[in-house]
Amino acid sequence: FARALPWDAHAHEVRSWLQLALSKLPPQVTPRRAAALYRDGQLALTQALFAAAQASLEQALAAARELADRELEAAALTALCRRAVLTADPSAVALSEAALAAAWAVDGPQPKADAALASAGAYERAGDWQRAAELADEALARYREAGDLYGVAGALGEQGFYDVVHGRLDRAEQRLG
């Protein structure tokens, strides 16, 4: 349910439902508990509740590893990377490399695209614009492969931002216009 957030629901409302559901689940690691922790972390990120996001995502990562759920592991690492980028955490580049490695170990373009876009932000914050641009290009290609139009828009936005920063205004207009 938390994956398909209803349009008329608020993130804090869904997080409270997830917390209630988690309190009712047995304490053992299960796929359902791991998924709920991941979704709670994602929703906390949307609310800029970075400490809560980190706690839930780290628990989801540990659960994913215990369950050998490589897809959830990649998603949790990607979300932790995104949190690190948003908070200027110095671990962002290391988390990005872990997210990229995990994403490339699973099938499908979506995990790779998500990890590449989050990692582009980590490298941009670190001042490695070349690596950031390469990762944004990779994200764009993978989102196109997945048919994810929102992802395509996000990757084009990232590339357009890089173009603006470096004075390539014609290219920025093509990507952002």
DSSP labels, 109-156: HHHHHHHHHHHHHHHHHTT-HHHHHHHHHHHHHHHHHHT-HHHHHHHH
pLDDT, averaged across the chain: 91
Q: What was the pLDDT predicted at 71?
A: 97
CB 143 within 8 A of CB 155: yes
Q: What is the pLDDT of residues 40-53, one digit of tens each?
A: 999 899 889 999 99
**What does residue 159 show for φ and ψ, rounded to 5 degrees?**
-65, -40
CB 124 within 8 A of CB 140: no
The answer, yes or no, to whether residue 3 has pLDDT greater than 80, is no
Residue among 176, 41, 97, 78 at smallest CA distance from 33 = 41
Residue with structure tokens 């209630």? 20
The answer, yes or no, to whether residue 9 has pLDDT greater than 70, is no
Q: What is the mean pLDDT of residues 47-70?
A: 96
Q: What is the pLDDT of residues 123-161, one digit of tens each?
A: 999 999 999 999 999 999 999 999 999 999 999 999 999
Q: What was the pLDDT predicted at 34?
A: 94
